[in-house]
Structure 1
Amino acid sequence: MSNIIYIGYEFKVKPLQPGVEILIAELGYAGFESFVETEYGVTAYIQKEEWNANILDNIQILESNEFQISYQFNEIEQTNWNQEWEKNFNPIIVDNACSVRAPFHEKPNTKYDIVIEPKMSFGTGHHETTHMMIQHILKNDLEGKSVLDMGCGTGVLAILAEIKGAKPLDAVDYDNWCYLNSLENVQRNNSKHITVIEGDASVLKDKKYDVIIANINRNILLQDMETYVSCLNKNGMLFLSGFYNTDIPIIQAECEKHLLKFEEKLERNNWVSLKFLN
């Protein structure tokens, strides 16, 4: 496989909040797929083949008088990604129960400890959506349940679900780099029941799960909702994230169209995660 080339934008934002939060949301809609919050703002990454010179034309916050934003960008080989993460990746602890850290971090005193090398993959636990999905997994009984981690990124959610007793599990991502990274992290954490699959919702045909975790983005969730519902067993649980408070009505309407019942909402810095029951 030839290396994927990424374009990395380093944004300096004043004031940081809610500037960074708004900027990440707008960049996500524009096609940027990975973000690293920094001391001065955020670094955003997009595959070069998805990039064009006008990629920032519709980023409204750049024209706002409320924020001062400057940026520079350059090409990044994915083989340089480890160095980027070692500079910026700090361990996190969710609800004093689950730690997500790199191999070079000291092991904390938590019930669940996950070690990952995130590389170019999304889903380290730092982002609000992954953080909330971890909270959902911590709060719910997954013992003996079959689980789908859709848009798995680093594989961290599938890994935690297995630690909580789920099996078997599928971790799916369309991005080859995420697929390879999840394979590494599954092996690193001694996971025995996770199958990592490269692909999109089309690979789910004829599959069934008790629990589906989908942390992607609003448009993909809406596009693939029918597939998720067709794969969800009776009395199954669907956890969704990757969108904002303002997106809840359209997400909820789509879920209710498929007879899913709203159960719970988590919120973190305007990002939300919703739980539905089948």
Structure 2
Amino acid sequence: MANIIYIEYAFTVFPVQPTSDILIAELGEIGFESFVENENGVLAYIQKTDWQESIVDGIAILENENFKIEYKVKEIEQENWNATWEENFKPIQVGDACVVRAPFHDAPKVDYDIVIEPKMSFGTGHHETTFMMLKHILENDFTGKSVLDMGSGTGVLAILAAMKGAAPVEAIDIDNWCYLNAKENVERNGFPNIKVLEGDASLLRGKKFDVIIANINRNILVADIPIYAKCLNAGASLFLSGFYLEDLDMITSKCGEYSLKFEKNLEKNNWVAAKYVF
């Protein structure tokens, strides 16, 4: 039986977000089957039998002058595939208590061991925004609280919230790959009661939560903050990320219009994750 050969595209992108998210979505539509996000961009993989040299020529984001994207291409034989994947997908440690890892990593001795098979979904902990949102969850009490993870990606934030005692927990993402992947990951981590839904903020009509977590992007956050506010119980918390430090005042001002008060923010490499209270 012949070895399967994979083609690896190593994309260097700026800005990293939302460029990486858009790029992954567009590559997924043309046959790329696995992705690894890193601090510089994305590694994307496709079987050589599904590949041709011109395969990325029609990718819209590569032709968009608002994004700076460069890439290199190489072949990887099947015998080296697992080693390549494991080399590029590193476990993420958040403080002393939490590790986000893939199934092929050894289990660590921590309070919160989250196993994620990322596939095409965003949210492994490698990106600054996911890392900071995990840190927010670790630093706050989630016991017995109803939680919504909006733009859930892999479901990692919903899973950590459940590990910290939150219930009930919902995870919503508009992307089908994310929806399917989150369903797999909540099962993998022993939380089948986390309700995973595919869709957008229109699914929130009539719902109430003690905590809403939304790691999306600035424009969607600004549009959806009024909806989030309607869904918060008295004394609830809203955690927002997916935007830069220079956008914090605008996000805070928008939250203030709906009686959401800024409490604190975390910052990493100019990305921000902020907490507001209702």
TM-score by length of 1: 0.79
Q: What stretches of structure 1 move > 6 A for 4+ residues in a row?
A: 81-84
Letter in 2 for 1:37: N
**In 2: Cα distance, 1:197 partner to 1:264 partner:** 29
Q: Deviations over 1:14-60 (max 9, x none)?
A: xxxxxx6x53147269x43577227xx43277xx8x9427633223x
Alignment correspondent of 1:71: 71
Q: SS of the residue aligned with 2:23? A: coil
- Provide, for residues 175-216 of structure 1, a one-character-per-residue CA deviation record: whole Å limited to 9, x for no partner: 010000000000001114310000000111111100000000
SS at match of 1:213: strand
Q: In the alignment, does 2:225 pair up with 1:217?
A: no
Question: Is 1:268 the counterpart of 2:260 in the alignment?
Answer: no
Q: What is the match of residue 23 of structure 2?
A: 32
Match of 1:32, as an amino acid? L
**1:3-82 to 2 correspondences below 5 Å:** 10-12=10-12, 22-25=14-17, 27=19, 31-32=22-23, 36-37=37-38, 41-43=40-42, 51-52=59-60, 55-59=63-67, 62=68, 70-72=70-72
On the 8 A contact 1:240/1:275 being kept in 2, the answer is: yes
Q: What amino acid does structure 2 have at the position aligned with 1:134?
A: L
AA partner of residue 204 (structure 2):
L
Q: Which structure 1 segments of 5+ residues have no match? A: 1-7, 13-19, 63-68, 75-80
- Matched residue, 1:3: none
The question of 1:121 aligning with 2:121 is answered yes
1:214-244 Cα offsets, whole Å, 9 max, x none, are 0000011011111111111110000000011
| Partner in structure 2 of residue 244 of structure 1 | 244
Question: In the TM superposition, what is the alpha-carbon distance from 1:9 to its structure 2 partner?
Answer: 5.9
> Aligned residues, how many?
243
Deviates more, 1:209-218 or 1:244-253: 244-253
Query: Structure 1: how far apart are the matches of 2:59 and 2:154?
Result: 23
Letter of the 1:36 counterpart: E
Q: Deviations over 1:115-147 (max 9, x none)?
A: 110100000011110000011110111100000
The verdict on how the C-alpha distance between 1:162 and 1:219 changes in structure 2, with shifts beyond 3 A counting, is same
Alignment of 1:101 onto 2:101: yes
- The 8 Å contact of residues 32 and 44 in structure 1, kept in 2 or not, is answered as no
List per-residue Cα deviations over 1:133-186 (Å, max 9, x = no partner): 011110111100000000000001101101100000100001010000000000
Amino acid in structure 1 at the alignment position of 2:262: F
Q: Tell me, in whole angstroms, the C-alpha distance in 2 between the residues paired with 1:82 and 1:241.
A: 32
1:110 maps to 110
Q: Which residue of 2 aligns with 1:130?
A: 130
Change over 3 Å in CA distance of 1:140–1:24 after alignment to 2 = same
**Could you tell me whether the CA contact under 8 Å between 2:18 and 2:217 is conserved in 1?**
no
Query: 1:85 Cα shift?
Result: 4.9
Amino acid across the alignment from 1:260: L
Structure 2's unaligned 5+ residue stretches are 1-7, 26-35, 45-55, 75-80
Instruction: Decide whether the 8 Å contact of 2:101 with 2:115 is kept in 1.
Output: yes
Identical-pair percentage: 55
Deviations 1:84-120 (A, max 9, x none): 8545211111001101111110011111101110100
